[in-house]
Amino acid sequence: MLLKSPIGLLNPLRYAGIPFKMPITRLSSKAPVLSCKQEPQILEAVPHQVSEIKTEVSGSEFQVFSRKKRVKREAVEEQLADSNGDGISGLPDIEDFTFQKGNATSSTKGKSKTISPAQPTGVGVVSTLKRGKSKATSPAKPTVAGVVSTLKRENITLGSLASSEPPENWEKVHKEIRHMRSSEDAPVDSVGCEKAGSSLPPKERRFAVLAGTLLSSQTKDHVTHGAVQRLLENGLLDPYSIEKADEETIKKLIHPVGFYTTKARNLKKVSNICIVKYNGDIPSSLEELLELPGIGPKIAHLVLHIAWNDVQGICVDTHVHRICNRLGWVSRAGTDQKTKSPEETREALQKWLPKEEWVSINPLLVGFGQTICTPLRPKCGVCKINSLCPSAFKEAPSPSSKSKKSSHVK
């Protein structure tokens, strides 16, 4: 007895030993009869083809429909490429991205794609192949990278495009600051770096100025002056004696300057360089000074001013940087924002400040910052330029000072 049953009932009928037969439809096709014990034949992978397999189970016959997997076109292309001997897989080499007149084949993540000869290759082509979409780029539209490269090629910096017009009333502000400075002495007037080794011969004095400016970073003037004096009293203010001295001895003598451990080590290194390369003297150019350990733009310009009488730029420290921003004398290129570093302040200040003021502006503003325009709680009430200063009376006292005042009132 033959039964026609859906595919879900194959197993019960099989174990019951009842012969059955599946209906033949237009989707089915004849296929060779196989036994369950025989190995199935490997069929060709043809897309969208459904086959019928007849199997004998204990004398019974049934039909099984199976849908064959679709073979990816990319895999077929890779097989064809391998058969031609050109089967190169993986990412292309960097030379493949250069523009070529002939056809170029680029593969991305195992996928091969032919690039037309008229299509330029490069990073844009790689991203296009990854997306699977092609998009034309308009050559008439300038890019940021192109603008920057053009500026570099023409030796133009973005900072140079900013306005170099001097700020309003700067001459009047400058004159009033001079007047306030003349009525009160500041620490920089008596114990500044330029006072180091003033009684020494020129060659030794130049090294003393270099050593004093190196120690002055992040340190108050009177602390730096004391450290230089102790080195001088112990005969350690020349490169030969410093090189022979123990680093621990130098550390004890220059303490408590800021970062005295690092500065003692840098003093030893600078002394050795001055002996080997400059015969015990110091460098005379800005580039050579900046190569010394622990020497930045501020120290390099100051050393050139004092030691060699060479003015190549303004010496900008924290006082000059702070006061110029408070007065609105400097700003970041193309914006109204404050400069973020002394080096940015120097570049912005040099755009409009007359060169004859480049040397005097440092001690003028440093002394002004030590006496009136202090970092914390500036004395705007006694400042004669508070009507011209955009930052006057805007910096509130710290919370600790408020709490102290309230405790005293109670």
Active site residues: 298
Give the tokens for residue 156. 């133009």
Give the tokens for residue 259. 């970062």
**Per-position b or e across 287-323, b if 16+ CB within 10 A of its CB:** eebeebebbebbbbbbbbbbbbeeeebbbbbebbbbb
Closest CA to 157 of 377, 351, 329: 351
**Per-position b or e across 227-254, b if 16+ CB within 10 A of its CB:** bbeebbeeebbbbeebbebeeeebbebb
Helix crossing, 202-216 with 297-308: angle to 10°? 160
Give the tokens for residue 104. 């170029």
Between strands 111-115 and 104-108, the pairing is antiparallel
CB atoms within 10 A of CB 387: 8
Q: Rounded to an integer, what distance in angstroms lies between the CA atom of residue 294 and that of residue 252?
A: 19
* Sequential DSSP letters for 300-327: HHHHHHHHH---SS----HHHHHHHHHH
Amino acid at 28: S
Q: Rounded to an integer, what distance in angstroms lies between the CA atom of residue 121 and that of residue 115?
A: 8
SS3 243: helix
Closest CA to 376 of 298, 322, 312, 304: 322
The residue behind tokens 């991305």 is: 108
CA 141 and chain centroid, separation:
27
Amino acid at 184: E
Instruction: Determine contact, residues 94/72, Cβ cutoff 8 Å.
Output: no
The residue behind tokens 């600078």 is: 270
DSSP secondary structure letter of residue 270: H
